[in-house]
Structure 1
């Protein structure tokens, strides 16, 4: 019997507490957020050594490989530029 009286008393005692006021205050949080990079990937250029239909001579192959080095360096510059634009810090407004 006393347990029932104590339970009822505890229930009504809890009803007398003042309501807790909850305030939502925005707090700035400085955390990096991942952002998708929408920089287009440069197209891979056609390499001179890929265009040979038959077996080339040594001289033709040497000329084609020398030209391919220049083409690859230009392609690498384009890829590095795209990577730098993707990894550059985002300017806040």
Structure 2
């Protein structure tokens, strides 16, 4: 029993004589950031400027132009929303 106690004391004395090891550890943790994007501007739609008295050809051209505008606008909105996710 005394031998066991003596061994335990020697073991503790060996641990007490060492300097504690100090080291810096870098830990990377993801941090949520608020998504701040510029607001996508609504274009001036091509059909806003047509009148009832305009020709059918002019109205169809305006509708086709507005369709292209809408496709572009939707793509900008999708790109904006995907960049935050």
Shorter-normalised TM-score: what interval? 0.5 to 0.7
Matched, 1:62 2:42: no
The corresponding residue for 1:82 is 80
Structure 2: segments with no counterpart, 5+ residues? 1-28
Whose relative contact order is higher, 1 or 2, with alpha carbons under 8 Å and at least 6 apart?
A: 1
Task: Say if 1:47 and 1:68, in contact at 8 Å, map to a contact too.
Answer: yes
Matched, 1:36 2:27: no
Q: Distance in 1 between matches of 2:32 and 2:56?
A: 50
The corresponding residue for 2:46 is 48
Q: What is the CA RMSD across the aligned residues, in angstroms?
A: 2.2
Structure 1 ranges of 4+ moved more than 2 A: 32-36
Structure 1: segments with no counterpart, 5+ residues? 1-29, 88-93
Task: Say if 1:41 and 1:79, in contact at 8 Å, map to a contact too.
Answer: no
Structure 2 counterparts to residues 9-28 of structure 1, below 5 A = none
- Which residue of 68, 71, 84 maps to 2:69? 71
Between 76-85 and 56-65, the greater mean CA deviation after superposition: 56-65
> How many residues matched?
57
TM-score calculated relative to the size of structure 1: 0.52
User: CA offset at residue 69 of structure 1?
Assistant: 0.7
